[in-house]
Amino acid sequence: MRIDQGWLSTATALASPNADQRPDKSDISLLVIHNISLPPGQFGGGHVAELFTNTLDPNTHPYFAEIANLKVSAHLLIDREGVVIQFVPFDQRAWHAGVSAFAGRPACNDFSIGIELEGTDTDPYTHLQYERLVKITQCLMAEYPALSSERVAGHSDIAPDRKTDPGPAFDWARFKALI
């Protein structure tokens, strides 16, 4: 596994239009772990990729009508089977964090990489998801020296008034011990 021009060699590339230039490409110093499932609580179906590429059909599910116009993305998605899709190159800003702050610094999208795990706050994540997340995190830390185990946060840590993911189902101790 390696990173070439911002793209992870082992990921399927599916470019999202919901990205832009970072203020400073060399300032990648935070990894944010999220969860997502579409429709909520359901896995598979490709709807997360549709959301991140602005192709989600609002008529497919009632919930989709509420979110189809959102312009959001993440750098990576790791699905329940461990399949990794990359939507935004790491040297660009993905739109995953929203209003956020880490260590007193606002606007986390400017300096972070966002990884979505297909899941919910309460459903245990799969062994394959942890396996892929650990290897990817190690690769990212090797590529971007400002990243460290102390600079990995959940979405709930950087936006505590708005977000709860990756939730209590995410085993932080397991993840941190493996990276």
User: Which sequence positions are flagged as catalytic?
Assistant: 116
**Cβ pair 12, 86 in contact under 8 A:** yes
Dihedral of the CA atoms 165, 75, 114, 18 (nearest 10)?
Answer: -80
Instruction: Give the strand pairing for 12-13 and 84-86.
Output: parallel
Name residue 103's amino acid. A
Q: Which helix (H) or strand (E) holds 140?
A: helix 127-143
Output the CA–CA distances (angstroms, integers) from residue 151 to 33, 40, 53, 61, 123, in the order listed.
11, 28, 28, 37, 25
